[in-house]
Structure 1
Amino acid sequence: MDKKNFLNNFTLDDRGALASLYEDVELCKKIQYPIHTRMFFPPEVWSTLENMKNALGVEVESRGVTQESEKRVILIKPMNYGEYDEDYPFTYFEIKGDSKFKELEHRHFLAAIMGLGIKREILGDLIVRDGMCYGAIFNDLYNFLENNLTVIGRIGVSVFKTEERNIPEMEFEEGVYLVSSLRLDSIVAAITEKSRSTAAELIKEGAVNLNYSVKREKDFSVKEGDVITIRRKGKFLFKEVAGTSKKGKQRVVLKKYK
């Protein structure tokens, strides 16, 4: 696949980053050794690349701060390479504020880190729990973050290395919805509390992603484990079918990401 055809598969505006990704794929095939990307990519990129792997002739994996993370570093491997047991090139960290009177929020942490001149694409998702921030940054920038992020607003903060097992999981709000079928338009209609025809329009116009890729087929069957993202409504994990109502509708359990 040439570069032009490769780029045409993506919607990301940063064509330079996509061109670099293409070069990583080509380098992997040339040297027959795994290559990590040098930035965290959003889901529309890593999910698209995973779908293209057979056409490209490589294997593709990705990893973020947690298994549910949207921003991920991509690992490109030669076909039939086998298990890759080396660490990804980023460091897990936690940031702790020293104030007992004001609890820092996600926006405070992100603004402070970006204020250091750190670009968003070299930083993974940030997870905030009880005033503590957890995340990941490329190895060569961790020391810079640790040494320079000392204050957020008027609150003193400290940055520490941590391990993956210490990162808290994403939080969800669980809900039960009645649907006439497991078609995508039926699920979207239940989530948005709109009619099936309105849901079909949302799907047609590209406002609905299934597993981080735009899905325009309204009759596509949704299954357990699928992630549904609806513009201006949020992201939902299809957990399970939990039975049938007296009127024959299916009860589906969806977990909304907070």
Structure 2
Amino acid sequence: MGGKEAWFRHFRPEERVLAERVLDWMTLAEVRYQPVLTPFLNPREQRVATMVINRSTDLSATADGGYEGAERCRMKVLPPYVEDADHGLAYLSLEPAERGRDLRHPDVLGSLLGLGLKRDKLGDILPFPGGCHVVVAEELAEFIRSQLNRIGRHPVHVETIQREELIVPETRTETVSVSVASLRLDAVLAEGFRLSRSRVSTAVKNGNAQINWKTTGNPAETVEEGDVLSLRGSGRIQVGEKLGVSKKGRFLLNLIRSL
């Protein structure tokens, strides 16, 4: 793993911290010759981890978030010739005590974090009409089941379910081609959500935007192909292919917008 510092320049500063953690997981797997299970990682973190692990000729990694296409997954770093399909996942069903009441993703997440849990112990939160399923770290499932009795001010029933019982909402997207004055975060978000740039800039400074699931307060931060951007109250977009620069110097690119 020579030349680590030079190689780490490929990552953003906050990603280098994760890359260092991945190196620690790899060392542990090599020394103990046992699989090492990670916390839940978002897609960008999984990409960073995979890039680091792939530099080793001996180690490999698998990922699982409970269903095909899961966003947040636990990875397992594997020594040579070792196979282990268990990624330490459990599945919970949350049902409101009041009929006709739906559970919103932010409310469910807030209530779970209110139990003192860390975000990296929680996988995807999957709301559907009349309830919500949550993928969690297996070691915390019983604690959550016994302690979580309200989402916000509303009572809920929590029970453990099987993997095959998960209800996964359909994800729909559309791709739009846009031109932006620059690849600044506020410019791309404004065009993607059809909002004024000043309004977006203020929202970013107030901590209401994320790049690759990381909150940023810098409207001038440059975005890149593949980056996932979100703006609270508006949704999420992904920066797609850069299509070039117009005669007027505007950047042409595709944006993939969640519907």
Place the TM-score, normalised by the shorter chain, in its bin: 0.5 to 0.7
* Pair 1:11-2:27 in alignment: no
- Equivalent residue, structure 2, for 1:147: 146
Aligned residues between the structures: 209
* Unpaired segments ≥5 residues, structure 1: 178-189, 215-228, 239-253
* Pair 1:63-2:50 in alignment: no
CA change 1:176–1:91 in 2 (3 A) is: closer
Q: How far has the Cα of 1:106 moved from its partner?
A: 1.0
Where 2:92 maps in the other structure, the secondary structure is strand
The question of whether the paired residues in 1 share the 8 Å contact of 2:89 and 2:138 is answered with: yes
- Equivalent residue, structure 1, for 2:179: 194
The question of whether the paired residues in 1 share the 8 Å contact of 2:66 and 2:135 is answered with: yes
Give matches, 1:208-227, under 5 Å. Answer: 208-210=224-226
CA change 1:56–1:235 in 2 (3 A) is: farther
CA change 1:10–1:111 in 2 (3 A) is: same
* Unpaired segments ≥5 residues, structure 2: 189-220, 241-254
TM-score (norm 2): 0.65
Percentage identity across paired residues of the two chains: 20
- Equivalent residue, structure 2, for 1:186: none
CA RMSD of aligned residues (A): 3.6
The question of whether the paired residues in 1 share the 8 Å contact of 2:19 and 2:49 is answered with: no
The question of whether the paired residues in 1 share the 8 Å contact of 2:95 and 2:130 is answered with: yes
- Equivalent residue, structure 2, for 1:244: none
Cα shift readout 1:28-71 (whole Å, capped 9, x = no counterpart): 1223332211x112222211221233323321221214332332
- Equivalent residue, structure 1, for 2:236: 234
Give matches, 1:65-144, under 5 Å. Answer: 65-79=66-80, 81=81, 84-144=83-143
1 CA distance for matches of 2:3 and 2:40?
A: 21
Structure 2 letter corresponding to 1:46:
Q
CA change 1:230–1:142 in 2 (3 A) is: closer
Give matches, 1:175-186, under 5 Å. Answer: 175=174
CA change 1:25–1:234 in 2 (3 A) is: same
Q: How far has the Cα of 1:14 moved from its partner?
A: 8.1
Q: How far has the Cα of 1:139 moved from its partner?
A: 1.7
Structure 2 letter corresponding to 1:89:
G
Moved over 6 A (4+): 199-203
Structure 2 letter corresponding to 1:208:
E
